[in-house]
Amino acid sequence: MSSTGLSRGRRCTIASRLNASAEAAVAATSSSRGEKQKAAVARRVEYYDEEDARGEARYDVFINHRGVDTKRTVARLFYDRLVAAGVRAFLDNQSMRPGDRLDERISEAISQCGVAVAIFSPHYCDSEYCLRELALLVESRKKIIPVFYNIKPSDLVLPQAVVESVAHHPRDIERFKFALREVKNTVGLTYDTATGDLAELVTSAATAVLENIDKHEVTQGRHMIMSRL
């Protein structure tokens, strides 16, 4: 062996130690990330408990969806995942109670949330409620994460029956069209039942929401500090 070289056994020993160190670093990073997530959940739960005690409950996320397509699948799975992460999410059939006035509760939830998830599906544009919620979210400048569920962004077009309906004011039709154009130009998540992994979609959407909630909370905190100066 040369004076500057290492024996094969020595190289193998060093390599195995480097691999072990790398694995330990990955494990530590994962553990650290997990601890941070747990701490974030604990902070949210504590914050919500304080809000409930003051009677000031609010929502972090509004889930805009077409019930006939997604209520028993991705919308409910997504809602459950967010709740498990300590996020206060609004999903109509889970967040509303008998006697609630539909328009008032939805408008209130949209005004409170910082982030929204719009789940677009084949029958989405047939629903006046879906379109009105989307228009209000866009007009309120909420952060919207689009999920294209068994549909392409290019398929988001108002049906002629909606456009020609006497039930809709021309101004509302323009609001709906503008809102759809906005989400078409927003990067989102796509899913196809034939080839997609639903669990992966829910995880990706939940991760995107949590990241945006954290950003929103930081921004809100800065605004509160500035308002007190």
Catalytic residue, candidates 50, 56, 104, 133: 133
Is the pLDDT assigned to residue 22 strictly greater than 60?
A: no
- Report the 10 Å Cβ neighbour count for 224: 9
Q: How confident is the model at residue 8 (pLDDT cuts 50, 70, 90)?
A: very low
List the strands of the sheet with 61-65, edge to edge: 89-90, 61-65, 115-120, 143-149, 189-191
Would you state the pLDDT for residue 168? Answer: 86
Average pLDDT over residues 115-132: 96
First to last CA, the chain: 71
3-state secondary structure of 77: helix
Residue 128 is a catalytic residue? no
- CATH no., domain 58-228: 3.40.50.10140
Would you state the pLDDT for residue 105? Answer: 94
**Non-local CB neighbours of 173 within 8 Å, separated by 6+ positions:** 158, 162, 163
The ranges assigned to domains in the chain are 9-56, 58-228
Would you state the pLDDT for residue 58? Answer: 86
Q: What are phi and psi of 123, to 5 degrees?
A: -105, 15
3-state secondary structure of 189: strand
Which of the residue ranges 17-31, 42-56, 154-168 has the most confident prediction, judged by mean pLDDT? Answer: 154-168
pTM summary value: 0.72
Residue 170, CA distances (Å) to 159, 161, 174, 176, 177 in order: 14, 13, 6, 10, 11
pLDDT per residue as tens digits for the range 59-98: 999 999 999 999 999 999 999 999 999 999 999 999 999 9
Q: Among positive and negative, which fits the CA dihedral 27, 28, 34, 37? A: negative
Would you state the pLDDT for residue 57? Answer: 55
107 CB burial (10 A radius; 0-12, 13-18, 19+): middle
